[in-house]
């Protein structure tokens, strides 16, 4: 059997930073075949192809660009991906890395052309869309893996194992934060991560909601999100600072702060972490991760060229780095790479199985719960829906209802009954 080919739709930041280098490394190891990338403008791909890292890390490797560089590089072709996906041989792999509001259309187009899918998070913005994707993929024996890469951080896997062994008792109260640097506001986000489409909680806070489920197995049952509107450099408005409260199926409460506002001069590419206070009823327990400070302190003689570079830095050796392992180029290492590798390997395994076995393999992947799939991570879409409903309604609590047709609704509050005679009289007077 020839190697499966991979088409990435979207040529932005995540493709440059994590997806393409991971796929190049898999290609170099003989796991996958040709790599193509489709973006809406040729200029995006020309810039991507010219990034200096490729020559150093993957000499001699390249991708096929759609559109190619022969025409007007700035002509927008937002529907080109449909032709590109239809032109692929069936039962290969599509990686979806476009802005959140486009995920559903691109994933569906990939599935309708019989392609396995790896989608960056969030899978989609509504639970009903995720159900549609699940059905479409399952009926065709196709994998859909959602790339929540924090799951492949060994510390997450350790926490999951120990929590599920009962070593922490039950999660009660927790706090998490993920604040990206201020300079993110200058990127393409300003064109789409705006108040009508998204917010800091939907865009980045969702990682910790997913992680708390991944570790504990609990389900989120309500969310209230307070958002502060702020302006991007292009004048568009976004909820760029958010504070969310997520209640879980056992009554536990997680607070999640997210923003595009961590100082550019601060060390590390962002600040992030999680503390879960737990109890077995007799004593307290703690599970805390500093996910930004991984123990490295570097002070350079000069500032690097990349956006957000600082003289004093606290780089993470764990997410994604290039290292020299000898041989040609550089090797990507870290959970960013392992996450992509896991999902692509799942696609290869299902595709390599006899057609009659594929659906049972899909069910195994759902049940194992290591890779997020539409079936096993629908709570993420429900939290997104609840979060959006809440933030657009002044931070009111949005309740999630599970079942055959999961849904979210704003909780109605009734004024409590008057407690004293005076209060009753005052109420009667109006």
Where on the chain is the footprint of ligand NAD (CB under 6 A)?
Answer: 9-15, 38-41, 44, 78, 81, 97-100, 102, 120-121, 149, 187-188, 203
- What DSSP character marks residue 417? P
Could you tell me the smallest distance in angstroms from the CB atom of residue 81 to ligand NAD? 5
- The smaller minimum CB distance to ligand NAD, of residues 9 and 23, is found at 9
DSSP letter for each residue of 143-157? -EEEE-GGGGSHHHH
Could you tell me the smallest distance in angstroms from the CB atom of residue 126 to ligand NAD? 15
| Residues forming beta bridges with residue 228, ordered by sequence position | 241
- The smaller minimum CB distance to ligand NAD, of residues 38 and 362, is found at 38
Half-sphere exposure of 224 (CA within 13 A, CB side): 10
| Residues forming beta bridges with residue 331, ordered by sequence position | 323
- The smaller minimum CB distance to ligand NAD, of residues 41 and 378, is found at 41
Please provide the distance, in angstroms rounded to a whole number, between the alpha carbons at the two ends of the chain.
79
- The smaller minimum CB distance to ligand NAD, of residues 62 and 191, is found at 191
- The smaller minimum CB distance to ligand NAD, of residues 84 and 221, is found at 84
Q: Residue 415, Cβ neighbours under 10 Å: how many? A: 6
Could you tell me the smallest distance in angstroms from the CB atom of residue 123 to ligand NAD? 10
Could you tell me the smallest distance in angstroms from the CB atom of residue 111 to ligand NAD? 16
- The smaller minimum CB distance to ligand NAD, of residues 102 and 347, is found at 102
φ, ψ at 271 (rounded to 5°): -125, 135
Could you tell me the smallest distance in angstroms from the CB atom of residue 193 to ligand NAD? 8
Residue with tokens 């979806």: 96
Cis-peptide into 122, omega within 30 deg: yes
Could you tell me the smallest distance in angstroms from the CB atom of residue 4 to ligand NAD? 21
What does the alpha-carbon distance between residue 185 and residue 193 come to, in Å, rounded to a whole number? 9
Residue of minimal Cβ distance to ligand NAD? 12
What does the alpha-carbon distance between residue 132 and residue 114 come to, in Å, rounded to a whole number? 15
Is there a contact between 129 and 105 (Cβ–Cβ < 8 Å)?
A: no
């Amino acid at each position: 059997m020839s190697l499966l080919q991979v088409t990435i739709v979207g040529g932005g930041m995540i493709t440059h930073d994590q997806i393409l280098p991971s796929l190049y490394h898999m290609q170099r190891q003989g796991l996958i075949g040709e790599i193509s990338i489709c973006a809406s403008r040729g200029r995006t791909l020309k810039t991507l192809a010219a990034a200096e890292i490729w020559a150093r890390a993957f000499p001699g490797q390249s991708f096929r660009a759609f559109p190619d560089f022969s025409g007007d590089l700035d002509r927008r072709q937002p529907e080109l991906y449909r032709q590109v996906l239809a032109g692929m041989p069936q039962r290969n792999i599509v990686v979806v890395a476009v802005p959140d509001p486009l995920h559903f259309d691109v994933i569906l187009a990939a599935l309708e052309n019989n392609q396995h899918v790896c989608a960056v998070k969030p899978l989609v913005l509504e639970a009903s869309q995720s159900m549609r994707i699940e059905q479409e993929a399952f009926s065709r024996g196709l994998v859909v893996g959602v790339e929540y890469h924090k799951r492949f951080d060994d510390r997450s896997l350790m926490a999951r194992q120990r929590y599920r062994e009962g070593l922490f008792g039950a999660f009660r109260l927790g706090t998490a934060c993920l604040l990206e640097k201020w300079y993110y506001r200058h990127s393409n986000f300003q064109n789409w991560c705006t108040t009508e489409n998204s917010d800091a909680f939907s865009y980045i806070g969702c990682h910790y909601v997913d992680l708390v489920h991944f570790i504990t197995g609990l389900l989120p049952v309500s969310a209230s999100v307070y958002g502060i509107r702020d302006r991007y450099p292009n004048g568009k408005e976004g909820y760029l600072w958010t504070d969310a409260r997520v209640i879980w199926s056992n009554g536990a409460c997680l607070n999640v702060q997210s923003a595009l506002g961590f100082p550019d001069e601060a060390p590390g590419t962002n600040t992030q972490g999680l503390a879960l206070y737990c109890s077995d009823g007799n004593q307290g327990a703690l599970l805390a991760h500093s996910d930004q400070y991984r123990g490295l302190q570097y002070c350079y003689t000069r500032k690097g060229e990349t956006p957000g570079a600082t003289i004093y830095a606290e780089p993470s050796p764990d997410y994604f780095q290039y290292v020299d392992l000898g041989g040609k180029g550089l090797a990507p290492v870290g959970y960013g790479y392992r996450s992509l590798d896991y999902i692509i390997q799942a696609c290869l395994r299902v595709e390599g199985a006899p057609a009659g076995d594929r659906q049972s393999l899909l069910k195994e992947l759902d049940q194992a719960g290591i890779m997020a799939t539409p079936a096993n991570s629908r709570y993420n879409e429900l939290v997104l829906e609840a979060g959006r409903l809440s933030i657009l309604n002044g931070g009111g609590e949005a309740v999630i209802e599970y079942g055959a047709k999961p849904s979210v609704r704003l909780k109605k509050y009734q004024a409590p009954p008057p407690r004293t005679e005076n209060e009753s009289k005052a109420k009667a007077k109006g």
